[in-house]
Amino acid sequence: MIPALFVSRFQFKRQLPWLVFATLLGALSVLAYLPPALETQRYVRGEMPELFTVLGFFGDSSLNMLVVSLLFGFLLPLTHSVYAIRQASRLVSKPLEDGRMAMLLSAPHRKMAILHTLWLVMLAGSVLLVLFSFLGQAVTALILFDNINMVSLLPLNLGFLPVSLLCCAIALFLAVTSEDARALKRRSRLVFIVMLVLLMASRLPGWTRQLRYLTFWSFFDGSALALGSIAWLPLTLALALALMLVMLSMVFFSKREL
C-alpha cells in the first residue's frame, strides 16, 4: 500500500454524497415500519404483487424482514453496482486513459503496489457505504422504537459486505482489462444489469428460480439473516471470489503496457 496515494485518491468529499445517500436509504427502510407506512405498503403490494416479488419483498413480519425486503432486495445491490462502476472508472480507467497512471509509474512504485492501493480505496468506500447504511437503520430504530433491538440489524449488513466487495472486485477486473473508460462503462453496465435481472427473475416461481445460480447477488441470503440464520459458505465463497479477482487484476495490470 502507498499511503500518500490512498489519501489522495480516497477524497472524502467525493464519498460524502454516497454516504449520505446510503444513510438516507437505511433510515427510510426503518421509517417504513411505522404503522401508516406499513398500511400503504400492504395496499400497494396487494395491487402489484409480482413487482414486489421480483424486487425481493419477503414480508414485513418484523423490522429485520422489512429492511431486508425494502433495502437489500434491490436498492442496495443497485447502489453498490453503480458505485463500483464509478469508482473503477475514476481510479483506474480514466488515469490509464489520460496518462495519470503513467505519471504514477514514473515514481519508484511498482504496478502491483499502485493497484493494491487503488483496490483498498474501493474497498474502504464500499465498507463505508455498508456502515453508513447500518447507522441510518440503527439510529432511526433507536429513535422511533422502544422495543426494537437495533443490534439485530448488524448481521444483515455484515452479511451483505462480502457481496459488495465482490461487486467492487468485478468492477476492478473489468477496469484493468478494458481498453478505456468508455469500454469499462459498456462492459460493466452489461455485467451488472444482467446480474440484477437474473436476481429478479430468480424470485419468480417456476424454472426461473434456477437462475439464482448465475448471479453473485445470490450469495447474500437476506431472509435467512433476518431470521437469525447465517449461511457461512456462500459468504466465504463471495470473499474468495473477490480475492481471486483482485489477484487476477494485479496480474493483468502488471503485464499491461502503459
Lowest mean pLDDT among 91-105, 119-133, 212-226: 91-105
Structural domain that includes position 248: 3-255
CA–CA distance, 215 with 230 (Å, rounded to integer): 19
Most trustworthy range by pLDDT among 102-106, 126-130, 226-230: 126-130
99: left (phi over 0), alpha (psi -120 to 50) or beta: left
Amino acid identity of residue 55, one-letter, is: L
pLDDT band at 49 (very low <50, low <70, confident <90, very high): confident
Grid cell of 251 as nine digits: 496480474
Look at residue 5 in the predicted model and tell me its pLDDT.
79
Three-state SS for 2? coil
pLDDT band at 79 (very low <50, low <70, confident <90, very high): very high
Look at residue 258 in the predicted model and tell me its pLDDT.
66
CA–CA distance, 57 with 49 (Å, rounded to integer): 9
Q: What average pLDDT does the structure give for the chain?
A: 89
- Whether residue 173 contacts residue 248, with contact meaning beta carbons closer than 8 Å, is answered with yes
Count how many domains the chain has.
1
CA–CA distance, 84 with 81 (Å, rounded to integer): 5
Give the whole-number percent of the chain exceeding pLDDT 90: 54
Residue 149 predicted with pLDDT over 80: no
Look at residue 206 in the predicted model and tell me its pLDDT.
86
Give the mean pLDDT of 22-47.
91
Give the mean pLDDT of 66-73.
91
Which pTM value belongs to this model?
A: 0.93
Give the mean pLDDT of 165-189.
93
Q: What is the dihedral of CA 1, 8, 173, 110, to 10 degrees?
A: -40
CA–CA distance, 191 with 163 (Å, rounded to integer): 15
Grid cell of 21 as nine digits: 445517500
CA–CA distance, 98 with 91 (Å, rounded to integer): 12
With 0-12 / 13-18 / 19 or more C-beta atoms within 10 angstroms meaning exposed / middle / buried, residue 68 is buried
* Nearest one of 133, 140, 181, 123 to 156, comparing CA atoms: 133
